[in-house]
Structure 1
Amino acid sequence: MNEQLGDQLAMLRFLERVQERDLARTRQWIQNMEQRIAEQARRRPPPPPPDWAVQYGIGGRAVRPAMVHTSQCWTPGASMEGISRTQAIEALTRGVVPPCILCRPEKELGVLE
């Protein structure tokens, strides 16, 4: 009986080694796939900047937007967020957000003239 338990323990130890190798191989496959995905992401060109942006003042998105900008004036940063043409028109025509005095988005959009 004692010999049987020893044999069973030996089989379990063997199974453990096989599973550890399988786990190591699976982790290597995962690491290789993550590297391939990261490499593909680096090769993709960055998305173009949006045509319109809203700038938030001090306090970020917790406060109302400060200005609407065109893409030529827009600089990616923590206080800027890309918006659609429709959103830009809505922000300007509702009188909620003033236009930037430098890039004059209202002229390009054809509103508030």
Structure 2
Amino acid sequence: MSDSPSRLDLLRFLERVQVGDLERTRSWIATEEKRLAAEAARLPPVPPPDWLIEHGIGVGRTPVRVHVGSCWDTRSRCMPADRDAARRALADGVEACTHCRPDTALGVLD
């Protein structure tokens, strides 16, 4: 009889090593998640921009709507804008959001 371990014994040993590695990696991930959460809790949230300009879909991506920065009806196609850019967009005929009414807040009414 041979003193060397069987192929099955070797595979089970490899499995134990890999499970240990996986548990160690998961522990590192949990530690890093806790660290990031604690860091995020210390930092104040980034304030929203004062104004947003929503752009359309496609090649030209022209402006389609202006929003107040804190509007709940914004989409991922919004870009931050300063007061002058928002006023210019409204003056150029870009639609004002009907929910947050940036035209009222900027004093630009049709």
Q: TM-score, normalised on structure 2? A: 0.56
Residues 94, 14 of structure 1: alpha-carbon distance in 2 compared, 3 angstrom cutoff = same
CA contact (8 A) 1:49 1:82 kept: no
Q: CA deviation at 1:78?
A: 2.7
Segments of structure 2 that go 5 or more residues without pairing to the other structure are 55-63, 97-101
CA contact (8 A) 1:50 1:84 kept: yes
Residues 30, 95 of structure 1: alpha-carbon distance in 2 compared, 3 angstrom cutoff = same
Residues 87, 15 of structure 1: alpha-carbon distance in 2 compared, 3 angstrom cutoff = same
Segments of structure 1 that go 5 or more residues without pairing to the other structure are 56-63
CA distance in 1 between counterparts of 2:47 and 2:4 reads: 67
Q: CA deviation at 1:11?
A: 2.7
How many residue pairs align between the two structures? 92
Q: Point out the structure with max Rg over C-alpha.
A: 1
Higher share in helix:
1
Q: CA deviation at 1:82?
A: 6.7
CA contact (8 A) 1:92 1:106 kept: no
CA distance in 2 between counterparts of 1:96 and 1:5 reads: 79
- RMSD after superposition: 3.4
Q: TM-score, normalised on structure 1? A: 0.55
Percent of residue pairs identical: 38
Q: Equivalent residue for 1:89?
A: 87
